[in-house]
A and B are shown apart, each in its own frame.
Chain A
Amino acid sequence: MKLDFEKPITKIEEKIEELKKMSEESGMDLSKEIAVFEQQSQEYKKELYENLKPVQKLQIARHPNRPNFLDYINLITTDFVEMHGDREGTDDRAIIGGVARIDDTPVMIVGTVKGKSTKENLEYNFGMPQPEGYRKALRLFEHANRFGLPIVTLIDTPGAYPGIKAEEHGQGIAIAVNLKEMAKLEVPVIAVITGEGCSGGALGLAVANKVLVLEHAYYTVISPEGCASILWRDASKASEAAEALKITGPDLLKNNIIDGIVKEPLGGAHYDYEAMGEELKKEILKSLKEFKNFTPQQLKDDRYNKFRRMGVFNS
């Protein structure tokens, strides 16, 4: 599926195909012309993808073919053993986790899952966890803490699920408890926003020593649509809200919200799963190495100080 702003590229690519076909049929040598077009197309793409507006990045972050948590499990880990359930009656499928190996390092890997088909989306609830999902995640974090396994979380969620049961079962409290308990973890925690990092639902897995976002992912306090409908009283102003909320990697880096940006293949992660997996794995391993010699107390202090510094005010 091509996005609307990618249409000019499709046009150039069609032209190139046409030329190739013509040269085959007529026997004329058009390789020079084709090469020129291909180079132009490449340059155009580079310029386009490097200068995306927030609302366009939003479209890439939400692309239906974007690799999901299960893809990343296949791409970057081996020996994944899933651990199910919150031990209180539920196995929320919007959050999946378990032990696995990244190269030689055993880790606990936990993430939110989005489906790629309607059927999958129903199973994973569109990546929107219930309180039980956060409680399952916490159970896995505590397991990792007990056995000295570093924790990696991959986050791609439009937010925690807003529903009747979710409220009755303490959605807010479940997230809050995770924030507090993650602060106490004595193992390194690396969080990566791989797509949508929306609000408390994302933060509930992201109280980490290192927080990375993929190049076209976003991280925000509220979805641009939600913000537009509250502040502008008009959900169609999402594009303005996406600009104002400063949700993309470079802005997040500037405001010290995140520690780094993971480069995506040209056009976005969905164009090249292998390359994306490789880059992500490299970045995760680099981060894990950084914290390898930290003592438990140093890890806790590092996390505390990192979030303690956040915020801008006058005093």
Chain B
Amino acid sequence: MTLKDWFETRKEEQHAARPIDPKIDDNIGKLWVKCFNCNAQLPRKELEQHMMVCPQCGYHFRINARTRIKQLFDEGTFEECFENISPSDPLDFFDTESYKDRQQKAKAKTNLNDAVVTGIGKVNGEEIACAIMDFEYMGGSMGSVVGEKVTSIIEKALEKKIPVVTITASGGARMQESALSLMQMAKTSCAVAKLNDAKLLYINILTDPTYGGVTASFGTIGDIIIAEQGARIGFAGRRVIEQTIRQKLPADFQTAEYLMKHGQLDMITKRSELKDTLAKILKLHRHEN
């Protein structure tokens, strides 16, 4: 084995060993960030200038809701709605930690009341109502607050007769609210049915990761479904499937590319092209009836 081969093999091994669920906050506050995919050492500033996409290999880092809003909306146009809706603890849920403690920690970490930010803003001049999920808040899980805010922003769009866009990043329904969380799937989907009746455009943008109750409700019933490059998207988690069928899954299983191949998505978009693509679609659907 030549020295070059040795380096190549090592690189491949490291590549194979990279975690499937990279945590966003591993990097926060550091001046230098290591790419999860190619291991390149990147100055944080440079990464931010590249919309948190590795300039060397194109790996899309997970980003939070605030960053997403900055990237997507025309400067100063996003107006947040329903920001005061906050979680309670209807079931007095306690596992290894109380739900209330988990809420407080998540709030301290994200400065958000819950796992979604909703509001109205402009994308290249096109006005939309938008729900942007934040994976850093309890894994982007959907409980009563997420369901209420998503439903409310859809109802606001119905009033204003404007399109709705969701940007999802979620592990699924929030277990700490049990059946109440499950019902948010029905509630949000019923609201989307009203968008259909009103013939208002509804677009889903799926980002890494989008799973479970969000995939099985408002997250995937858009008129157009866009996935961000490299996103993992599914109904059941990888581990659950492996345990059920007792076999190893292909490495690209549940990636956006894999789903696209199976006809589940309209398109995959790079983060750098997302805003223009979205605006183009919005403009194509805006005509006087």
Chain A interface (Cβ < 8 Å from any Cβ of B): 160-164, 166-173, 175-177, 179-181, 183-184, 199-200, 203-204, 206-207, 219-222, 226-227, 230-233, 240-241, 244-247, 252, 255, 257, 303-304, 307-308, 310-315
Contact = CB atoms under 8 A, between A and B. Distances in A.
A204 B185 CA distance: 10
A221 B173 contact: yes
13 contacts: A163-B241, A164-B253, A167-B253, A168-B264, A176-B221, A221-B175, A222-B175, A231-B96, A244-B93, A244-B94, A245-B178, A310-B187, A311-B183
B108 interface: no
B236 interface: yes
A173 B220 contact: yes
Given A172-B215, A313-B88, A313-B144, A307 B186 contact: yes
A203 B218 contact: no
A61 to B, nearest CB: 15
Contact of B86 (A219, A257, A313): A313
Contacts of B189: 176, 179-180, 183, 207
B254 to A, nearest CB: 6
B249 interface: yes
A221 B143 CA distance: 11
Given A183-B193, A231-B175, A313-B148, A171 B216 contact: yes
Given A166-B235, A183-B190, A173 B215 contact: yes
A201 to B, nearest CB: 9
A245 to B, nearest CB: 4
A108 B184 CA distance: 26
B151 A203 contact: no
Contacts of A303: 190
Interface string B129-148: 00000000000000111011
B244 A221 contact: no
A180 B82 CA distance: 23
B213 interface: yes
Contact of A176 (B174, B184, B220, B240): B220
A267 B178 CA distance: 26
Nearest to B192: A180
Contacts of A311: 143-145, 147-148, 180, 183-184, 187
A200 B185 contact: yes
Most buried by A among B86, B177, B186: B186
Given A163-B244, A167-B253, A203 B95 contact: no
A170 B177 CA distance: 26
Contacts of B218: 176
The 3 A-B pairs at the shortest CB distance, nearest first, are namely A172-B215, A162-B236, A311-B144
B190 A247 contact: no
B245 A246 contact: no
A171 B235 contact: yes
